[in-house]
Amino acid sequence: MSGKRVLIIGGTGYVGQHLLEGLSNTAFEKGIDLAFTHHSNLPPEPLIKAIHSHCLAFPVDLRNGDGFDAISLSFGQPDVVVNLAALSVPRACEMDPVTAMCVNVPSALIEWLLTFDDDSTLLIHFSTDHVYEGVKSFYKEEDETAPVNVYGRSKAESEHFISANWANFAILRSSIIYGPQTAAPVRKSLPVQWLDSLLAKGRQVEFCRDEFRCPIYINDVVTIIQTLTCRWMSGCNEMQLVLNVGGPDRLSRLQMAETVAAVRGYKSSLLKPISASLIDRGVKSPADISMDISKLIQMLGFSPMKFEEGVRLTFRNETNTSS
């Protein structure tokens, strides 16, 4: 497996930072060269410190492909590209649909990959559960996609674009990803920490009882990417995969808050159930986009952890990093 190259697009984001830490733990001994891209700022110092092996960093703008030529010159064609770059907040996509489409549909990335002589690079691309309409439970990969917001539409378009223009890909339709904060804290609010901060105020808070998701713990996401990467590097030479990536529990937002309250010792009387129809978040939110994850379990031989266990680990790891 030596002499292989992995490039992470969007290494400064929430998943990117955790992935860089995870991959860099073993990259050196496996002889893998790692590189990542950043966009709005230089790579933050705490992230550089947290990466355990040498790693190149490149500025890249996915809107126009600026920066890719430098990667060709000093890193070369990657064996695996993990695309995590996105406008990932649904409300931000709704407010700026042009940028959402431009960043989330990775046409500049594919254009760059097509400059190499062969199509031997595996593209692992992050999509979302928002590609589903949200009108039934436990969506399967072969169900029709019918997104209800700009974020979901941009990701559905990204899936079409990749499958039409690149030979080898794994498209991961991820549910909410939760877990500890990153080495260099990301600006967006993290789901479990956000619930905790609301409940910590000791006042009653409203939570939707009729919006369902299958949240997945960040370490499980990293394991899934690592497994696909290893499979590709161990001689697999063809992959066209679409996978639901979620945890084993179908949970309403209220049930997620109940779990956080139980783990953190808040009174359950603080939680007030309401209907999502009463909330205006500035973006349409699909009601039930819970997913069937049997293909993930069967194909990768791996079962993601339950939400309650992941919430416990989140707070255990947050305490460890802040002490």
Ligand X SMILES: NC(=O)c1ccc[n+]([C@@H]2O[C@H](COP(=O)([O-])OP(=O)(O)OC[C@H]3O[C@@H](n4cnc5c(N)ncnc54)[C@H](OP(=O)(O)O)[C@@H]3O)[C@@H](O)[C@H]2O)c1
**Is residue 71 a contact residue for ligand X (CB under 6 A)?**
no
Among 2, 40, 234, 322, binds ligand X (CB under 6 A): 40
| Dihedral, CA of residue 294, residue 296, residue 298 and residue 302, to nearest 10 | -110
**Is residue 322 a contact residue for ligand X (CB under 6 A)?**
no
**Is residue 91 a contact residue for ligand X (CB under 6 A)?**
no
**Is residue 88 a contact residue for ligand X (CB under 6 A)?**
yes
Residues near 286 by Cβ (< 8 Å), separated by ≥ 6?
Answer: 129, 130, 132, 133, 134, 147, 148, 149, 152
**Is residue 39 a contact residue for ligand X (CB under 6 A)?**
yes
User: Least separation, in Å, of the C-beta of 4 and ligand X?
Assistant: 23
Residues near 305 by Cβ (< 8 Å), separated by ≥ 6?
Answer: 217, 220, 247, 248, 313
**Is residue 139 a contact residue for ligand X (CB under 6 A)?**
no
Strands 212-213 and 251-252: antiparallel
**Is residue 170 a contact residue for ligand X (CB under 6 A)?**
no
Give, as ranges, the residues between 238 and 257 that touch ligand X (CB under 6 A).
none
User: Least separation, in Å, of the C-beta of 306 and ligand X?
Assistant: 17
Q: Is-contact 65 9, C-beta < 8 A?
A: no
Among 16, 22, 78, 152, binds ligand X (CB under 6 A): 16
DSSP codes joined into one string, 156-209: HHHHHHHHHH-SSEEEEEE--EE-SPPSS--SSPPHHHHHHHHHHT-S-EEEES
Longest dimension (CA), the chain: 62
Pick the piece of the chain touching ligand X (CB under 6 A) from 35-43, 229-237, 257-265, 276-284. Answer: 35-43
User: Least separation, in Å, of the C-beta of 3 and ligand X?
Assistant: 27
Nearer to ligand X, 126 or 307 (CB): 126
Nearer to ligand X, 32 or 106 (CB): 106
**Is residue 209 a contact residue for ligand X (CB under 6 A)?**
no
Nearer to ligand X, 85 or 260 (CB): 85
Nearer to ligand X, 36 or 235 (CB): 36
**Is residue 231 a contact residue for ligand X (CB under 6 A)?**
no
Among 7, 14, 27, 133, binds ligand X (CB under 6 A): 14
Q: b vs e for 280-300, b when ≥16 Cβ sit within 10 Å of the residue's Cβ?
A: eeebbbbbbbbbbbebbeeeb
User: Least separation, in Å, of the C-beta of 180 and ligand X?
Assistant: 13
**Is residue 176 a contact residue for ligand X (CB under 6 A)?**
yes
Among 61, 210, 292, 318, binds ligand X (CB under 6 A): 61
Using CA atoms, how far residue 189 sits from 112, 122, 178, 319, 322, in Å, is 32, 31, 10, 18, 17
Instruction: Give the integer Cα–Cα distance in Å for 283 and 247.
Output: 24
Rounded to the nearest 5 degrees, what angle is found at the Cα of 92, between the Cα atoms of 137 and 276?
Answer: 40
User: Least separation, in Å, of the C-beta of 117 and ligand X?
Assistant: 25
Tokens of 74: 């000093």
The structure tokens 């703008």 sit at: 61
**Is residue 85 a contact residue for ligand X (CB under 6 A)?**
yes
Nearest residue to ligand X, by Cβ distance, number only: 13
Interface residue list for ligand X (CB under 6 A)? 10, 12-16, 38-41, 60-63, 84-86, 88, 103, 126, 128, 174, 176-177, 186
